[in-house]
Amino acid sequence: MKLLSLIPRSEHGNESREIAPHQLARMKPHPLIIDAREEREYLLGHIEGAIHLSRKILESKVPEIAPKLDTPIVIYCAIGTSCASAVEALRRLGYQKVFSLKGGLQSWLEAGGLVESSKSGQNFRGSFSRA
């Protein structure tokens, strides 16, 4: 899949890029997937292979994990509304291929995406409650 097929959009004068769940599932090579939700939410269930980085440490940890600025990175939150600032922060650091998951984890689940739990080590599909 070519990264050029990702959805560019403009919000409040700033261009951001989103990737739809089906595009993320087919993306080759697999991007670095970052879960930007609270740690307790991540432990309950996250996209398979995702790493948890809170917004507080994102800028300091990503260069350790992805030293190359052309590394494809997808960041997601619960419903796709709170990770735009994280995407923008990484773009300011020089990362060229940073995207947010359109609709967040909720859209991923609605599209039938696989989720794993850090507590049980099991994979599952289905709805996810933020209780």
Encode pLDDT of 72-100 as tens digits: 999 999 998 888 889 999 999 999 999 99
**Residue 116 and residue 123 in contact, taking contact as beta carbons nearer than 8 Å:** yes
128 lies in a domain? no
**pLDDT value of residue 129:** 38
123-124 β-sheet, strand order: 46-47, 115-116, 123-124
Q: Which domain holds residue 71?
A: 27-117
User: Hey, what amino acid is at 89?
Assistant: A
Summarize the confidence of residues 109-121 as an average pLDDT: 82
Distance CA(13)–CA(3), nearest Å, equals 22
**pLDDT value of residue 16:** 55
User: Which CATH number goes with the domain that contains 52?
Assistant: 3.40.250.10
9 lies in a domain? no
Summarize the confidence of residues 108-130 as an average pLDDT: 68
129 lies in a domain? no
What total number of domains does the chain contain?
A: 1
Q: Which of 77, 86, 87, 90 is flagged as catalytic?
A: 77
- Is 83 among the catalytic positions? no
